[in-house]
Structures are given as structure tokens and as C-alpha cells.
A and B are shown apart, each in its own frame.
Chain A
Amino acid sequence: MSNGKVTSIDEALSNVHSGSRLMLGEFVGSGQPEKSIDWIVEKSIGNLTLIVCTPGYRDKFLMDRLFETDLVSELISSHVATSSGSSDAYLTNKMMVRQLFPMGTWAEKVRAGGMGLGGILVPVGIGILDQPGIFPNLEEPKPKLTLNGKEYFVEEALTADVSIIRGWRADPLGNVEFRHTGTINQCDIAMAGKYTIAEVNEIVPVGAIPPDRVGCPGIFVDAVIQGYSLPEQDALYRNNWIRLGILEPEEGAAE
């Protein structure tokens, strides 16, 4: 069996350029493609339009460093302040935020992008997000439509030049398996990218992932790259949670 879609991080990430529209799997810090983010920070690829559910977690941790190093010129998200880097970039006008979306709206816009739809009709925020002064950077008022007597926002689909998701295991066909809450909307993000990279803890042979456990079918994935192993990834997150006072240091943990 050939390596199929399995490739090096340098090869896969060479598709991310200055000015790219980049979509990343993530939810308040979890499920991030860790090594890919480190690679982008290291290569200092900037002027990115970043499309993420939330912009990372607290400070100095993974995605937050994209903002701390001024690599993001525009953010399309539900929040600006889950990380301090994003919050600072927004408040000091280093980063454009045209509007914020309710998280469910953001997720459906991404799904629409992946599913080949032009957009969706969303009732959430009517009478609130269409009020004057809420989004001063928005050139036009948010478009609305009335259907069967009910008012909706017409929300355009979101797509990206490059999407990077993070899963547990992937095979050379690009099939990806997720663990626990790591599923988030990684598959929708994969589908919404013109070029999609799956960063995973483990690369396994074709057939190793039971078909009913494939969370993102390989047809939506262009490249598979080796991320941190699961023990390495657990250690990375545990150490960050200990640093932030969310978990006790390991020595003190009850058996």
C-alpha cells in the first residue's frame, strides 16, 4: 500500500500562503491542529483571514500565538476574546472583525460551505444583530428575508482556501476518526476547504478504522500529516491546564 495522502507537514502546509483564508478545527482551545499552528507561527505566514469557532484559549497556547505574533488580519468567528492575543489584536485594531456570529450560526455557515449551499436562513439574533451600531465595520446591513411570516438573516456560506482539522487516527485514504468531544465540526471544516489537511495523533493502515467510526470520510481530505501522539497531546493540554490552575500538578493528584 502506498502512503496515499500521507505527507510531510512542510509539503502539506506549503499550501498556506500569506493572505490565505484559513479554517481551523477548534473549540475554546480544544481540538486544534497543534503542530500545524506551530508551523505557521514558526514560518511567520501572515495576513491570514482566520475562520474559527472561537479564537483559542487564554494565552500563550497554540492558536493564541497566531494572534500574539500578528499573523491574523481578519477574524470570522463567534467571539473575539476566548484568548488574550485575539482580544488584544481586536481592541488595538490590528485585526479586522466585520461582525460576530452566534456560534450556531457560524457552525451552519461552515456546514453550508462544505455542503455546496449558497447560504442559510437563520432566525437567531433578529432584532438584535440588525440594530444600528452593533457592527460598525459592516459595509452593508445584514440581509434579511421573510418566509411564512417569519424573519430570518440570509447568511452566506463560509469556505476556505485551506482547512486544517485535527483527529485521532487517519489512514492513507484520508479517513479520520475522532475521540470524545474532539468531533466538534471537524468534518464540516474539512468539507469547506478547497485544500484540506488532517493532522492526527496516529496514522494507521487502510482498514484499521472501522467504517462506522470514520468521522470524516477520506474524500474530504487532501493530506494527512503526523501530529503529536496521543500521550504527547494529553501532556501538552494537561500541562497547560496545570499552568492555568484548572488542574492540580500531577504529584498532588489523587490516585
Chain B
Amino acid sequence: MSDQLESRVIIAKRCALEMKDGDVINLGFGIPTSAADYLPPGVNVFLHSENGCIGAAGKPATKDADSDRTNASGAPMTVRPGAAYMSLTTSFGAMRNGYIKTSILGGLEVDEEGNLANWAVLRNGHWWPGIGGAMDLCYGVPRIIAALQHIDKAGSSKVKRRTELPLTGRKCVKTIITDKAVFDVGSDGLILREALPGLSVEDIRAITEARFEVAPDFKPMPI
């Protein structure tokens, strides 16, 4: 398993522990979506899909894939018992107005204030690739969990003192889950709650640009 694949699995598994039975949750593209594959036994959640579904479920067999039953990634899906369809505007009203309680979103950068950047990098002098539904989620969902790799490909910390890229949400992140650590975003800054088994607080400090306190019950990540 490559390091990057390994780190994606760590993040997805740890994110899965944030979901409780019966929760209504929106999972962003990429790693957050795969968190649903690692739900503990007995935990069933209602996944919200932006295009207009609460109760989105996994991939169908090819012969059952319906061109009119698709998820927010444009892929075929199934739905669980109790699912509900709705229009796009109703779906976004649910996001904007706080009816979706938890969302796990990928990130390019996150910082000490819980600011999240995940929609734009400079490419050919243009901000790219686009906003989609992430900004509506950051605005309206009370519990945003940022799920991202701790360090970027160039070796820099993605958990920063201050984000530099255009933001998706201001002061919206409540919890940060990386492949190395878990932080809560408190009113006075970050609080380190967990580290990957085998890593010390000092190891986390060495790879983290943001300043942080250490929780009294700091413990190894239970994955």
C-alpha cells in the first residue's frame, strides 16, 4: 500500500468514528465519501446528496444502475429505506438553513480559527476548479469536520496558522482530522485530541504549522 493510499484510509476510518447511528450527514468528494465504507457495525446514517436526496446509499450492480438515480459525484447510487428525494433548491435550503447537522469536507488548508480553504488554487493565473456545494455547507452546517492530509506533497503543513488560499468557510471547522492527528477548534485555538499511534505530541508539533494546546485526555487515534 502506498503511503498516500494508507493515509487516505487512516483519515476515512477516523472520520467514520465521528458518525453516530441515525445521523444525517453530508460527505464531501474524495476521502470523506469513503468514510462511509468504514462505519462501525450497527451505525447507520442518512447520507445527504446535494442533488436532492437524504438516504443515499452505495453503488448498484451494473444492471441495476439507473441513469436517473445518481449521487452528488454524478455516480449511480442506491437509496436506503426511509430515503427522501427533493428538488435542488430544497436540498440547498436544508444545507444553508442548518437542517443538515454534520458535514465532513476535504481541505487544501485549514487554520487555527477553523477557516477552511478547499475550492480554489491558482492555475494558469485563474482560480480553479470551483465552488460547487462546499460554501453552502460551510455557511449553514453547524458541525463541519475538515478531513485532509496533514502535510502536502511539498512537505508543508496543511494545518496552518492562517490560511492563504481563498476560503470556503470562515471559522466554520469544529474538528480537524488528518492522517496524523485529530484537533478540535476551540474558541482560543486548536486543541490536540489524538495522534496516530506511535506519534508523540512533539512529533505532531514538528509537522504542524498551527499552534495548539494539548487536551488533558490526549490519546492515540483509536483506529
Give A contacts to B, CB under 8 Å: 27-31, 53-54, 57-58, 77-82, 87, 90-92, 100-105, 107-108, 111, 123-125, 127-128, 131, 134-135, 168, 178-185, 187-188, 230, 233-234, 236-238, 241-242, 246-250, 252-255
Q: Please indicate the chain B residues that have their CB under 8 angstroms from the CB of A184 in the complex.
A: 51-52, 87-88
Q: A27, A124, A131: which contacts B135 (Cβ < 8 A)?
A: A124
| Docked CA distance A16–B44 (Å) | 48
**Distance in Å: Cβ of B130 to nearest Cβ of chain A:** 3
Q: Please indicate the chain A residues that have their CB under 8 angstroms from the CB of B61 in the complex.
A: 253-255
Give B contacts to A, CB under 8 Å: 49-53, 59, 61-63, 65-76, 85-89, 92-93, 95-96, 123-124, 126-136, 139-140, 166-170
Q: A103-B131, A104-B93, A253-B61 provided; 8 other pairs, C-beta below 8 A?
A: A79-B132, A81-B128, A90-B126, A91-B123, A102-B134, A102-B139, A107-B92, A237-B65
Residue of A nearest to B136 (CB): A104
| Docked CA distance A123–B87 (Å) | 21
> 16 interchain pairs (CB within 8 A)?
A27-B70, A29-B74, A30-B67, A80-B128, A82-B130, A91-B123, A91-B128, A102-B136, A103-B88, A103-B133, A104-B92, A127-B170, A134-B166, A181-B51, A181-B70, A238-B76
Q: A104, A168, A185: which contacts B133 (Cβ < 8 A)?
A: A104
Q: Are A78 and B170 in contact (CB under 8 A)?
A: no
Q: Please indicate the chain A residues that have their CB under 8 angstroms from the CB of B168 in the complex.
A: 128
| Docked CA distance A123–B140 (Å) | 10
Q: Are A124 and B136 in contact (CB under 8 A)?
A: yes
Given A78-B131, A102-B136, A128-B135: A108 touches B89 (CB 8 Å cut-off): yes
| Docked CA distance A138–B59 (Å) | 41
Residue of B nearest to A236 (CB): B67
Q: A78, A101, A241: which contacts B75 (Cβ < 8 A)?
A: A241
Q: Please indicate the chain B residues that have their CB under 8 angstroms from the CB of A168 in the complex.
A: 68
**Distance in Å: Cβ of A17 to nearest Cβ of chain B:** 28
Q: Are A181 and B139 in contact (CB under 8 A)?
A: no
| Docked CA distance A125–B71 (Å) | 25
Q: Are B129 and A79 in contact (CB under 8 A)?
A: yes
Q: A53, A92, A180: which contacts B85 (Cβ < 8 A)?
A: A180
Q: Are A78 and B74 in contact (CB under 8 A)?
A: no
| Docked CA distance A108–B88 (Å) | 9
Q: Please indicate the chain B residues that have their CB under 8 angstroms from the CB of A241 in the complex.
A: 62, 65, 75-76
Q: Please indicate the chain A residues that have their CB under 8 angstroms from the CB of B75 in the complex.
A: 241, 246
7 tightest A-B contacts by CB?
Answer: A79-B130, A104-B92, A81-B129, A28-B74, A237-B67, A182-B68, A102-B135
